[in-house]
Amino acid sequence: MYADVIIDISHEKLDHVFTYHIPEKLECAVAPGVCVKIPFGRGDTGRTGYVTEIRETCDYDPAKVKDILGVIKSAVPAESHLMALAYWIKKNFGGTMHQALRTVLPVKVKTEEKVKRTVYLNVDRETAMDLLALYNRKHYRARVRLIAALLEEPSIPYEVILQKLNITAQTMRPLIEDGTIKVVSEKAYRNPTILAGEKQEGVTLNAEQQAVADGIFASFLEGDPKPALIKGVTGSGKTEVYMEIIARAAAMGKPSIMLIPEIALTYQTVMRFYKRFGDRVSILHSRLSKGERYDQYLRAKNGEIDVMIGPRSALFTPFTELGFIIIDEEHETTYKSETVPKYDAIPTAIERCRMLGGMTVLGSATPSLPSYYHAMQGDYTLYTLQNRATGASMAKVSVVSMAQEMQAGNRSVLSRELHDKIALRLERREQVMLFMNRRGIAGVISCRSCGEVIKCPHCDISMSQHNDGRMHCHYCGHTEVMATQCPVCGSTKIGAFKAGTQKIELLVQKEFPKARILRMDFDTTRGKDGHAKILSAFANQDADILLGTQMIVKGHDFPNVTLVGVLAADMSLNVPDYTAAERTFALLTQAAGRAGRARSDGEAVIQTYHPDHYAVVTAAAQDYEAFYAEEIGYRKSLQFPPVVHLLTVYVFGTDRSRVEKGALKLAGVLEAIGGLRYIGPAAPNMEKIKDNYQNVLYIKDAKYDTLVDIKDRMEAVVRLERTFDNLTVTFGFE
Ligand code: ADP
Ligand code: ZN
Ligand code: ZN
């Protein structure tokens, strides 16, 4: 047996993997993630490395492959756990070990560190004197200088030691490892966060919240590995429950990870955590520089924080102990990586907790179908919060049929009911939020004579009309002058049909000339903190109406918002995807949940062409169970996840016929196995993206492991066969 060993994991290019032979006596002990001692470099000096993979064969002359010297058992550093997790991710979601490692390991950046480090004597004076004598006898001059200096001055800046005392990091390393000295990185972290004032105690939990926190904490103490799912209506105080269990775990010295969709990582959310945990909070977000990000990981590793808050990637915070991994808004699709490795944060969190003895807690007002299904099956423990913590009742929701509006002669984007309700709010100086279903509905430029839709020449995606008079592709950024003639029938009756956020802003402004409107969409939030600026302006009541895509659904409490309007509830129902109803239900329910969070007269109006669709009806009734019952029936009858597992295999390439050939070859793998249910290969909806063609295969099976096995076989074929040169094959698991 052979092991691939990585030696320098702090290197940005994690591709320095070396193969070693595993001596028979070590075969049981060596596994991915394990820390080993190996001969390396000139003179074969013993170095420490991490096993990334075990293999039966070796690409080199076996006679030249060196033996692993031993397994280092004592310290199990964070990196070991993360390595093992990387291996698990690779195995369960596909991709290479290298890709998995890059996802999981905090990579040190070459930019010079701004960390201010101080070296402390970490043993009592007597021990230090003894060591000094010992080092003197052994003529360890550098060590003698260091210890002597530290006996005089028990803490010395790191730079001073390097430059003034002329002592190298290599000299210090063994002394740090055996605990003689310690290096503490102090405050000079590139700390990206704004420190709040005084630390405050949390609110007193109400009985419902207390029961949930107690229940979860009790199973945590028992070491029950079962994840918990908190289903709590919007504003039911889930965040307070999270903070409570995080604080209790922290009191036991166990830090937690709090995952929040990036979009919800607003100033308000962050402040709440600061007020509770002071500077023992750290935050990761996409605007951090690599250096800042690395510093936050360093703080985590040094045990300086109780909770790391961040999007999906915060999952890999290098803690060596773990309290909770909390995944808020767990239904959000951002918890699934769209790049290889296409891991899902929920099972990955559960695996990480299994490794470190932590507990996964999922929370949502609208749990994803898979999560609720797991709870129903008994795989997760279900907790519910039925009431809003502030005592406010849920918004009153009405559904308006836009077809009927049309029949009644109303051609406005606003139904009469929504119009009147907005007018009333403006009069009362209350605020309104208007949701559009998604960016780009602005778009679709079609011919009114023949129905042809203009698509991007590089992608198979509809182009959208923008204010600059050009058509834009939202996938690749390609732009063209606005079409004046239909490319198919030559008709000049061509244009954007449905209005986008910009257009709607103009239309709403026309109906309410005095209203102050803020628009929040992809275009207005592009700049640094674009998002946060708009949200705080709205929170400060600098505007009456906030108009936007779903990005305004969460992360903000606007107590003065008493009306929410959803303009095109149908858009997401038309997406050709089996989760369309689920996403629509979640979006509508969450949107309605924004109204009247602090008071009882909140109202929501849903405008739709499908007023009888169960996703709309159940969202209006805010009845999750009714929606679930309907939806799970549909999934059962059509055999979709979560009732079965689904493996999606994509084949990409620039040459269409090669892509097709590759996909056929993979279908051949399925045929050879036999007895499988699969669809394809076929060109999906958007066949061409950024000049790449794609083909797709869907395989369904009740057992996840069957799909993992299929993935393994396909990966082997892709590695070996020439057909796949210049093709990319990726796997998605559901
Ligand atoms: P969720 O995360 O479920 O949407 P939050 O935790 O954000 O809910 O709580 C909603 C609002 O209720 C917040 O303003 C919060 O400060 C307040 N709140 C939560 N729990 C309590 C409580 N026990 N007592 C008073 N106010 C509370
Ligand atoms: Zn036409
Ligand atoms: Zn394009």
Grade residue 456 by pLDDT with cuts at 50, 70 and 90.
confident
Q: Whose CA is nearest to atom 11 of ligand 1?
A: 235
Q: Is 249 helix (H, G, I), strand (E, B) or coil?
A: helix
Q: Is 207 helix (H, G, I), strand (E, B) or coil?
A: helix
Ligand 1 pocket member 364 (CB < 6 A): no
Ligand 1 pocket member 363 (CB < 6 A): no
Strand-pairing partners, residue 563, are 432, 603
Grade residue 393 by pLDDT with cuts at 50, 70 and 90.
confident
Ligand closest in space to the Cα of 236: 1
Q: Report the pLDDT value the prediction gives residue 196, as an integer from 0 to 100.
A: 42
d(CA 336, CA 24): 40
Q: Whose CA is nearest to atom 9 of ligand 1?
A: 237
Q: Which residue has the higher pLDDT, 528 or 284?
A: 284
Cβ neighbours, 10 Å, residue 119:
26
Q: Please list the helix, strand and coil fractions of the chain in percent, rounded to the nearest 5, in that order.
A: 40, 20, 40
Grade residue 451 by pLDDT with cuts at 50, 70 and 90.
low
The answer to which of 353-367, 398-412, 415-429 has the lowest mean pLDDT is 398-412
Q: What is the DSSP string of 267-334?
A: HHHHHHHHHHHGGGEEE--TTS-HHHHHHHHHHHHTT--SEEEESGGGGG---SS-SEEEEETTT-GG
Q: Report the pLDDT value the prediction gives residue 640, as an integer from 0 to 100.
A: 87
d(CA 344, CA 347): 6
Ligand 1 pocket member 232 (CB < 6 A): yes
Give the total residue count for the chain.
Answer: 734
Tell me: the pLDDT tens digits for 645-681?
999 999 999 988 899 999 999 999 999 998 888 888 8
Query: Average pLDDT of the chain?
Result: 84
- Are 55 and 32 contacting, i.e. CB atoms less than 8 angstroms apart? no
Percent of the chain with pLDDT over 90: 36
Which of these, 663, 734, 662, lies nearest to 701 by C-alpha position? 734
Rounded to the nearest 10°, the torsion over CA 556, 562, 564, 565 is -150
Rounded to the nearest 10°, the torsion over CA 214, 219, 223, 227 is -110
Ligand 1 pocket member 272 (CB < 6 A): no
Ligand 3 centroid to 478 CA: how many Å?
Answer: 5
Q: Which residue has the higher pLDDT, 600 or 374?
A: 374
Q: Ion ligand 3 — residues with CB under 5 Å? A: 456, 458-459, 473, 475-476, 478
What is the CA angle 326-329-335, rounded to 5? Answer: 80
Ligand closest in space to the Cα of 490: 2
Atom of ligand 1 at shortest range from CA of 233:
3
Q: How many CA atoms lie within 13 A of 378 on its CB side?
A: 0
Ligand 2 centroid to 495 CA: how many Å?
Answer: 11
Q: Where are the strands (E) in 343-466, listed by range?
A: 359-364, 381-385, 396-401, 431-435, 445-447, 464-465
Q: Is 692 helix (H, G, I), strand (E, B) or coil?
A: strand
Ligand 1 pocket member 320 (CB < 6 A): no
d(CA 701, CA 706): 7
The side-by-side arrangement of strands in the sheet containing 155-157 is 155-157, 116-121, 181-186
Mutate to test the pocket of ligand 1, among 390, 557, 597 (most ligand atoms within 8 A of CB): 390
Ligand 1 pocket member 534 (CB < 6 A): no
Q: Report the pLDDT value the prediction gives residue 206, as an integer from 0 to 100.
A: 94
Q: Which two tokens stand for residue 157?
A: 């800046």
pLDDT surpassing 60 at residue 272: yes
Atom of ligand 1 at shortest range from CA of 205:
23
Mutate to test the pocket of ligand 1, among 240, 326, 385 (most ligand atoms within 8 A of CB): 240
Ligand closest in space to the Cα of 474: 3
Ligand 1 pocket member 337 (CB < 6 A): no
- Residue 225 CA, chain-centre distance (Å), reads 22
- Residue 337 CA, chain-centre distance (Å), reads 7
User: Which H or E element spans position 732?
Assistant: strand 728-733
pLDDT surpassing 90 at residue 286: no
Q: Which two tokens stand for residue 703?
A: 């057992």
Encode 297-325: b = buried (16+ Cβ within 10 Å), e = exposed.
bbbbbeebbbbbbbbbbbbbbbbbebbbb
Ligand 1 centroid to 304 CA: how many Å?
Answer: 27
Ligand 2 centroid to 452 CA: how many Å?
Answer: 5
Ligand 2 centroid to 572 CA: how many Å?
Answer: 26
Ligand 1 pocket member 449 (CB < 6 A): no
pLDDT surpassing 60 at residue 268: yes
Ligand 1 pocket member 203 (CB < 6 A): yes
User: Which H or E element spans position 587?
Assistant: helix 580-592
The answer to which of 173-177, 361-365, 616-620, 708-712 has the lowest mean pLDDT is 173-177
Which of these, 366, 353, 327, 333, lies nearest to 242 by C-alpha position? 327
Grade residue 245 by pLDDT with cuts at 50, 70 and 90.
very high
Atom of ligand 1 at shortest range from CA of 206:
23
Mutate to test the pocket of ligand 1, among 208, 234, 239, 393 (most ligand atoms within 8 A of CB): 239
Tell me: the pLDDT tens digits for 327-373?
999 999 899 998 889 999 999 999 999 989 999 999 999 999 999 99
Cβ neighbours for 393, distance < 8 A, ≥ 6 positions apart? 596, 600, 602
d(CA 583, CA 570): 11
The side-by-side arrangement of strands in the sheet containing 35-40 is 17-21, 2-6, 45-55, 35-40, 70-71
Ligand 2 centroid to 494 CA: how many Å?
Answer: 7
- Are 724 and 652 contacting, i.e. CB atoms less than 8 angstroms apart? no
Q: What are phi and psi of 332, to 5 degrees?
A: -65, 140
What value does the mean pLDDT take over residues 112-128? 78
Ligand closest in space to the Cα of 392: 1
- Pairing relation of β-strands 324-328 and 479-481? unpaired
Which amino acid is residue 640, in one-letter code? F
Ligand 1 pocket member 100 (CB < 6 A): no
pLDDT surpassing 80 at residue 120: yes
Ligand 1 centroid to 382 CA: how many Å?
Answer: 20
d(CA 567, CA 609): 10
Q: Which two tokens stand for residue 435?
A: 């949701």
The burial class, CB within 10 Å (0-12 / 13-18 / 19+), for 355 is middle
Place of tokens 């043993």: 123
d(CA 248, CA 306): 10
Ligand 2 centroid to 548 CA: how many Å?
Answer: 31
3-state secondary structure 620-664: HCCCHHHHHHHHHHHHHHHCCCCCCEEEEEEEEECCHHHHHHHHH
Which amino acid is residue 290, in one-letter code? K
Ligand 1 centroid to 297 CA: how many Å?
Answer: 29
List own/partner pairs for 20-25 with CB under 8 A and 24 or more apart. 20/65, 20/66, 20/67, 20/68, 21/58, 21/62, 21/65, 21/66, 21/67, 21/68, 22/54, 22/67, 22/68, 23/67, 23/68
Ligand 1 pocket member 716 (CB < 6 A): no
User: Which H or E element spans position 519?
Assistant: strand 517-520
Ligand 3 centroid to 729 CA: how many Å?
Answer: 21
Ligand 3 centroid to 699 CA: how many Å?
Answer: 29
Ligand 1 pocket member 592 (CB < 6 A): no
d(CA 679, CA 674): 14
Q: Report the pLDDT value the prediction gives residue 189, as an integer from 0 to 100.
A: 43
Q: Report the pLDDT value the prediction gives residue 609, as an integer from 0 to 100.
A: 79
Q: What are phi and psi of 541, to 5 degrees?
A: 60, 35
Ligand 3 centroid to 664 CA: how many Å?
Answer: 26
Ligand 1 pocket member 234 (CB < 6 A): yes
Ligand 1 pocket member 236 (CB < 6 A): yes
Tell me: the pLDDT tens digits for 689-712?
778 888 889 899 999 999 999 999
d(CA 733, CA 342): 8
Ligand 1 pocket member 410 (CB < 6 A): no
Ligand 1 centroid to 193 CA: how many Å?
Answer: 23
The burial class, CB within 10 Å (0-12 / 13-18 / 19+), for 585 is buried
Ligand 1 pocket member 239 (CB < 6 A): yes
d(CA 127, CA 175): 13
Q: Report the pLDDT value the prediction gives residue 208, as an integer from 0 to 100.
A: 95
- Are 326 and 256 contacting, i.e. CB atoms less than 8 angstroms apart? yes
Q: Whose CA is nearest to atom 5 of ligand 1?
A: 237
pLDDT surpassing 50 at residue 195: no
d(CA 588, CA 586): 6
Ligand 1 pocket member 434 (CB < 6 A): no
Q: Whose CA is nearest to atom 27 of ligand 1?
A: 389
Q: What are phi and psi of 258, to 5 degrees?
A: -120, 110
Atom of ligand 1 at shortest range from CA of 365:
3
Tell me: the pLDDT tens digits for 524-552?
766 656 777 788 788 888 999 998 876 55
Q: Which two tokens stand for residue 722?
A: 């020439």
Ligand 1 centroid to 325 CA: how many Å?
Answer: 20
Q: Report the pLDDT value the prediction gives residue 440, as an integer from 0 to 100.
A: 38
d(CA 595, CA 605): 10
Tell me: the pLDDT tens digits for 29-42?
888 878 888 888 77
Q: Report the pLDDT value the prediction gives residue 110, as an integer from 0 to 100.
A: 47
d(CA 370, CA 366): 11
The side-by-side arrangement of strands in the sheet containing 396-401 is 396-401, 603-608, 561-566, 431-435, 545-548, 517-520
Ligand 1 centroid to 388 CA: how many Å?
Answer: 8
Cα 687 to Cα 324, 443, 642, 662, 693: the distances in Å are 41, 19, 26, 15, 6
Atom of ligand 1 at shortest range from CA of 232:
3
What value does the mean pLDDT take over residues 247-267? 90
Grade residue 436 by pLDDT with cuts at 50, 70 and 90.
confident
Ligand 2 centroid to 479 CA: how many Å?
Answer: 21
Ligand 2 centroid to 407 CA: how many Å?
Answer: 27
Strand-pairing partners, residue 186, are 116
